């Protein structure tokens, strides 16, 4: 008896910051809690500074339309982050998917065929990422940075000298911009997708495998999980999500430009990191936290927009929030650097 | 005393294998580079001209000096410095403002280099004090830095006819004058990293933190030293950049970033740290700087340049990863 208590206290000592599991405290101190707090602060600032029109249906619709693609892309590439393989090429995949889809439409292709071929191409790009990272052990940041550059180049070549491909499909445009209960349908779909992703991450075997691989690849392998297969899946899903995002962008804009999706990866990952993900360490983060991060950043952007303040301040605020979020994650027990 | 000796000799325990890797990397780079030059030259004989040499040497200068800074960060275990664009533009702005005020050229260089060092030390301070990974720190500071710079200026340029302006357009022995300081710096830094205690400490920290620390090397001091030194190179690159770039805005340096990272990886300087030879930078930077000029001769638009760069980078990191995996197994 005394033996076991001695063992337990010794165990606690070696764990260092050991805190007993406690549902209420977890809910108040976890990563989702701090982003939820940030999100509430953003809404409060919006209400106080801008006034009630900040939460009016019209303004929320504007934010929602703007967020459709980042939310879908974020929910999918969040799986890659969770599995410990960051995919920086998502912005360029959005761009090339948009350009390919517009090109096919302008060639008179059926919309389903155009979308299908575009998504297959995006899966191929994700597959190349997976080949370099999973098969050859390339560093994910550098390899997908290469993919980002190459695909952006191909996109510029595709759009040609006009620098854009106009391809307006009325049906697709009206579906993408259709309002339901005053909010854009696709915004609601994106929120639904986020919740579905959260369910997959927390409640299914697949989600637990992804987290295990990202948290400790060796331990996961020893537990019989195929690390390579999980990471390949995550990278393919990330590319697929970006491909879908590109097709939706094309619908929203009625055209594709060479710069479509440029810098989206930084916008999305900064928000996801503020929401509790890490681009360097897998196994942490949750799709709901990530979505709240995107909502909070979009809220800040919207507030500054409405107050006619230089958009550069958004980047300053996002940068500071990012550092604060990472610092908070570290204080909560995340890996310290050196 | 004996402790000192072990510190000096220990990191050198692995070189025989590294040397072999260096030769492999070097020969591959020379072969690919010559292949590119020969193929383009056969297709378009006018490619082999003085004009091409000028263009290539010109591109090499800024990228080469930035690559030294990036290499120092990578080899010492800081992975990559994503804040180079902001640092470069900040130091360039200082160079422009100083030369506008009529300050002598030597002081312009000093001001620029010091600005770069302060920027590096600022990044190091966040890395060390907050214990946050350098990749995230530099991602955020680049974000913030460029935004602040946009609030400060939209377009800047060194005054026509000033000393720094003439420096950017001068030639020495048929190549731009800018090329020579780059060459000198790569050679000197390559020697310093390999043959001095400070250089070997930085490499040792990159190779194995715990072992380096056990030998009494301070990680914090190394981090400060490497980031400040790397910032100094960014500051000097800014002098070259500002002297020759013409009017620039805060985004003007963004396209350089990828070239610099690709140059470091192709040179065999491991992103994981602890391995690499800075002299190889001359070959990788030279090869990468030849690509844009060659593409023009093939009649390809400048858009295709990034396709080649991107594919090259993927192949290079795949090889880097494959090598690292193999060396871990043996």
Instruction: Give the pLDDT of residue B10.
Output: 40
Tokens 């537990």 — which residue?
Answer: A223
Instruction: List CB contacts (< 8 A) between B138 and chain A.
Output: none
Q: For residue B156, which phi and psi values (nearest 5 degrees)?
A: -140, 160
DSSP state of A135: I
For B:4-43, CB contacts with A below 8 A are none
Helix (H, G, I), strand (E, B) or coil at B248: strand
Tell me the chain A residues in contact with residue B298 when contact means C-beta distances shorter than 8 Å.
Answer: none
Q: Exposed/middle/buried for B149, CB within 10 Å: 0-12, 13-18, 19+?
A: buried
Q: B326 CB near a chain A CB, below 8 Å? A: no
Whether the CB of A150 is below 8 Å from some CB of chain B: the reply is yes
- 3-state secondary structure at position B172: strand
- DSSP code at position A278: -
Contact by Cβ (8 Å): A172, A53: no
Which stretches of chain B drop beneath a pLDDT of 70? 1-22, 328-330
- Inspect the interface and report whether the beta carbons of B151 and A312 lie closer than 8 Å: yes
Chain B positions touching A280 (Cβ under 8 A) are 133, 135-136
Question: Contact, A283 vs A293, CB < 8 A?
Answer: no
- Asked whether the beta carbons of residue B140 and residue A319 sit closer than 8 angstroms, the reply is yes
Q: Check if A145 contacts B (Cβ < 8 Å).
A: yes
Specify whether the CB–CB gap between A129 and A144 falls below 8 A: yes
B133 inside 8 A of chain A by CB: yes
Contact A327 B132 (CB under 8 A): yes
- Cβ-proximal residues to A142 (8 Å cutoff; 6+ apart), any chain: B80, B261, B265, B271, B313, B317, B320
- Beta-sheet pairing, A179-180 with B171-172: unpaired
Which positions ≥6 away from A198 have C-beta within 8 Å?
Answer: A286, A287, A288
DSSP state of B156: B
Judged by CB atoms closer than 8 Å, whether chains meet at B144 and A315 is answered as yes
CA distance A289 to chain B (A): 19
Cβ within 8 Å, pair A338-B131: yes
> d(Cα A97, Cα A91) in Å, to the nearest integer?
10
Q: A21: burial class by Cβ within 10 Å (0-12, 13-18, 19+)?
A: exposed
pLDDT at position A151 is: 93
CA–CA separation, A327 vs A329, rounded Å?
5
Nearest to B233 by CA among B285, B181, B279: B181
A263 touches chain B (CB under 8 A): no
Q: Would an 8 Å CB–CB cutoff place B192 in contact with chain A?
A: no
Is A138's CB within 8 Å of B314's CB?
yes
User: Of the candidates A137, A150, A151, which has its C-beta nearest B324's C-beta?
Assistant: A137
pLDDT at B13: 42
B311 touches chain A (CB under 8 A): yes
Tokens in use for B256?
């350089």
β-bridge mates for residue A165, sequence order: A256
**What residues of chain A lie within 8 A of the CB of B303, using their CB?**
153, 156-157
Q: If you search the block for the tokens 């590119």, which residue do you land on?
A: B36
Quick one: pLDDT at residue A57? 86
- Interchain proximity B131–A337, CB inside 8 Å: yes
Provide the shortest C-alpha distance from residue A191 to chain B (in Å): 27
pLDDT per position in chain A (338 positions), as tens? 334 444 433 333 334 444 455 555 555 566 677 888 888 888 888 888 888 888 888 888 889 999 999 999 999 999 999 999 999 999 999 999 999 999 999 998 989 999 999 999 999 999 999 999 999 988 888 899 899 989 999 999 998 878 888 888 888 888 888 888 888 999 999 999 999 999 999 889 999 999 999 888 888 888 888 899 999 999 999 999 999 999 999 999 888 888 888 888 888 998 898 888 888 888 888 899 899 999 998 998 899 888 888 888 888 888 888 888 788 777 776 667 77
Give CA–CA dist B244/B61, Å, rounded: 10
Q: Which two tokens stand for residue B17?
A: 């294998």
First CA to last CA distance, chain A: 39
Q: Could you tell me if B86 and B140 are in contact, meaning their C-beta atoms sit under 8 angstroms apart?
A: no
Q: Which residues pair with A256 in a beta bridge?
A: A165
How many residues are present in chain A? 338
Backbone φ and ψ of A136, nearest 5°: -100, -10
Q: Which residue of B has its CA nearest to A313?
A: B147
Is B152's Cβ below 8 Å from some Cβ in A? no
pLDDT at A334: 67
CB B189 within 8 A of CB B66: no
Residue environment code for B33-67, b if the CB has 16+ CB neighbours within 10 A, otherwise e: beeebeebbeebeebeeeebebbbbbbbbbbbbbb
Across the interface, of B272, B303, B311, the residue whose CB is closest to A157 is B303
By Cβ distance, the residue of B134, B304, B319 closest to A157 is B304
Rounded Cα gap, residues B237 and B116, in angstroms: 9
Closest chain B C-alpha to A162 CA, distance in angstroms:
13
Distance CA(B66)–CA(B64), nearest Å, equals: 5
**DSSP state, B161?**
T
Q: CB atoms < 10 A from the CB of B214, how many?
A: 9
Chain B residue with the nearest C-alpha to that of A143:
B314
Q: Which of residues 307-336 of A touch B (CB under 8 A)?
A: 310, 312-316, 318-320, 322-323, 326-327, 330, 336
What pLDDT, on the 0 to 100 scale, is given for residue B116? 95
Phi, psi of B176 (to 5 degrees): -60, 145
Q: Is A133 in CB contact (< 8 Å) with chain B?
A: yes
Chain A contact present for B170, CB below 8 A: no
Does the model's ipTM exceed the 0.85 cut?
A: no
How many residue contacts between A and B have a Cβ separation below 8 Å?
A: 154
Predicted local distance difference test score (pLDDT) of residue A113: 93
Residue B218, min C-alpha distance to chain A (Å): 11
What backbone phi and psi angles, to 5 degrees, belong to A174? Answer: -70, -30
A142/B127 CB distance under 8 A = no
Q: B136 contacts in A (CB within 8 Å)?
A: 273, 279-280, 322-323, 326
A256 DSSP 8-state letter: E
A-chain residues within 8 Å CB-CB of B133?
A: 280, 326, 337
- Nearest chain A residue to B151 by CA distance is A312
Dist. CA A77–CA A264, nearest whole Å:
12
Asked if residues A159 and A40 have their Cβ atoms less than 8 Å apart, the reply is no
Q: Which residue has the tokens 């942490």?
A: A284
**A159: closest CA of chain B, how far (Å):** 11
Dmax over Cα atoms in chain B, in whole Å?
A: 63
Helix H or strand E encompassing B295 = helix B280-297
DSSP labels, A149-189: HHHHHHHHHHHGGGTEEE---HHHHHHHT-EETTEEHHHHH
Q: For Cα atoms A135, A338, A232, give the angle at the middle one, nearest 5 degrees.
A: 20
A24 backbone dihedrals φ, ψ, rounded to 5°: -70, -45
CA distances from B263 to A124, A247, B70, B158, B257 (A): 27, 34, 9, 28, 10
For B322, name the nearest residue in chain A, comparing CA atoms only: A136
Stretch 281-310 of chain B: residues touching chain A, C-beta under 8 Å: 301, 303-310
């Amino acid at each position: 008896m005394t033996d076991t208590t001695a063992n337990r206290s010794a165990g606690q000592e070696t764990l260092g910051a050991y805190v007993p599991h406690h549902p209420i405290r977890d809910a108040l101190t976890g990563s989702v809690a701090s982003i939820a707090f940030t999100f509430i602060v953003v809404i409060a600032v919006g209400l106080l500074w801008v006034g009630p029109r900040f939460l009016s249906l019209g303004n929320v619709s504007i934010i929602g339309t703007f967020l459709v693609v980042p939310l879908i892309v974020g929910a999918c590439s969040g799986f890659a982050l969770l599995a410990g393989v960051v995919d920086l090429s998502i912005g360029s995949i959005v761009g090339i998917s948009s350009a390919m889809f517009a090109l096919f439409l302008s060639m008179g292709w059926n919309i389903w065929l155009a979308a299908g071929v575009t998504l297959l191409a995006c899966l191929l790009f994700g597959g190349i990422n997976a080949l370099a990272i999973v098969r050859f052990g390339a560093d994910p940041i550098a390899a997908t940075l290469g993919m980002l550059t190459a695909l952006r180049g191909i996109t510029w070549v595709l759009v040609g000298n006009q620098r854009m491909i106009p391809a307006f499909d009325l049906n697709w445009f009206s579906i993408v911009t259709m309002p339901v209960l005053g909010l854009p349908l696709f915004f609601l779909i994106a929120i639904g997708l986020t919740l579905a992703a959260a369910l997959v991450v927390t409640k299914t075997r697949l989600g637990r495998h992804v987290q295990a691989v990202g948290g400790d690849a060796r331990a996961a392998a020893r537990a019989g999980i195929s690390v390579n297969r999980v990471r390949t899946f995550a990278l393919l899903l990330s590319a697929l999500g970006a491909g879908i995002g590109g097709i939706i962008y094309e619908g929203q804009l009625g055209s594709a430009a060479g710069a479509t999706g440029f810098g989206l990866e930084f916008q999305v990952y900064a928000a996801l990191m503020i929401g509790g993900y890490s681009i360097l360490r897998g196994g942490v983060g949750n799709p709901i936290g990530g979505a709240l991060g995107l909502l909070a950043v979009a809220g800040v952007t919207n507030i500054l927009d409405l107050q006619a303040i230089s958009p550069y301040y958004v980047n300053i605020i996002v940068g500071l929030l990012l550092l604060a979020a990472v610092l908070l994650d570290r204080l909560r027990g995340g890996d310290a650097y050196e | 005393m004996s402790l000192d000796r072990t510190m000096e000799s220990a990191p050198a325990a692995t070189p025989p294998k590294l040397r072999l890797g260096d030769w492999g990397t070097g020969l591959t780079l020379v072969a690919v580079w010559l292949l590119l030059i020969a193929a383009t030259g056969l297709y378009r004989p006018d490619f082999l001209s003085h004009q091409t040499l000028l263009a290539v040497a010109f591109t090499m200068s800024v990228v080469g000096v930035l690559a030294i800074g990036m290499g120092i960060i990578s080899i010492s275990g800081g992975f990559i410095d994503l804040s180079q664009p902001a640092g470069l533009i900040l130091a360039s702005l200082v160079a422009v403002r100083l030369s506008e005020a009529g300050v002598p050229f030597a002081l312009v260089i000093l001001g620029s280099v010091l600005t770069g060092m302060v920027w590096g030390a600022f990044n190091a301070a966040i890395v060390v004090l907050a214990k946050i990974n350098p990749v995230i720190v530099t991602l955020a500071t680049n974000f913030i830095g460029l935004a602040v710079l946009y609030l400060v200026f939209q377009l800047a340029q060194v005054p026509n006819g000033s000393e720094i302006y003439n420096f950017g357009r001068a030639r020495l022995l048929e190549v731009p004058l800018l090329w020579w300081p780059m060459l000198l710096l790569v050679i000197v830094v390559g020697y310093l990293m390999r043959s001095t205690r400070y250089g070997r400490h930085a490499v040792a920290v990159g190779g194995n933190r715990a072992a380096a620390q056990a030998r009494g090397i301070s990680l914090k001091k190394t981090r400060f030293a490497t980031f400040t030194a790397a910032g100094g190179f960014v500051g000097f690159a800014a002098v070259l950049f500002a002297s020759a770039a013409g009017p620039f805005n805060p985004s003007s340096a963004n396209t350089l970033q990828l070239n610099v990272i690709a140059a470091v990886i192709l040179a065999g300087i491991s992103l994981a740290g602890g391995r690499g030879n800075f002299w190889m930078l001359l070959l990788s930077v030279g090869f990468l700087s030849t690509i844009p000029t060659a593409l023009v001769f093939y009649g390809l638009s400048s858009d295709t340049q990034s396709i080649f760069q991107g594919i090259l980078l993927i192949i290079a990191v795949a090889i880097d990863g494959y090598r690292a995996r193999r060396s871990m197994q043996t």
